[in-house]
Amino acid sequence: MDELNSPDDFALVVVDPQAGLGFAVQSIDRQQLLNNLVATVETAQTFNVPTIVSTSATKVYSGPPFPAIRELLPDVPVYDRHSMNLWEDDAARQAVIATGKRKLLFAGMLTEACVSFPVLCTLAAGYKVFVVADACGGVTVDSHRYALDRMSAKGAEMTSWMQVLLEFQRDWTRKATYDRARGLIERFGGGYGMGLKYARDMLARP
């Protein structure tokens, strides 16, 4: 049995990618978090993974989605909620169900509430759930970790945006996604991306 994941089985749920909540994040550098969120969304686009975006308290506290996220998903509906738990919001829950996918990736803010609550609920509903931990932000380092631990104890698997991308790509001879996947690593992959870009530039030299 192949234990690696296929993008065909997944939907991505992006929870509350909003500046008002980003101000509260202390578990990760805020710009790094935004970069990781963008990388996660672009990874989903690269592999045709349907994406659900939900926000909360848009007009009273949290504000609109980050422009960098909205620009990537201009035609994707944004489900604004009153509840912290998107699984308790009829429109957001039905949007997830309508994808027909039984494996879910979650990313967003805040880890302690608006991420962990729907993760726990979708696990209870029988979904296989993966949390893109480096694309989630918590109020403190400790509370972020405790939330990840709680989700993990209930069956969620922790991953990173880089692992998602590499697992979906798996073989660099897959030309349909090669250029965009490699480009994401070069842009957001730190030293690994720097190395890939260096190798490409060196090979291109006469």
User: How far is it, in rounded angstroms, from Cα 147 to Cα 153?
Assistant: 10
User: How far is it, in rounded angstroms, from Cα 157 to Cα 66?
Assistant: 26
Question: Quick check: 40 and 161 in contact, CB under 8 A?
Answer: yes
Instruction: Determine whether 114 is an active site residue.
Output: yes
User: How far is it, in rounded angstroms, from Cα 154 to Cα 152?
Assistant: 5
Catalytic residue among 39, 53, 114, 136: 114
Residues in Cβ contact with 46 at an 8 Å cutoff, skipping those fewer than 6 apart: 165, 168, 177, 180, 181, 184
Measured CA distances, 88 to 50, 51, 193, 206 (Å): 20, 18, 39, 59
Residues involved in catalysis = 114
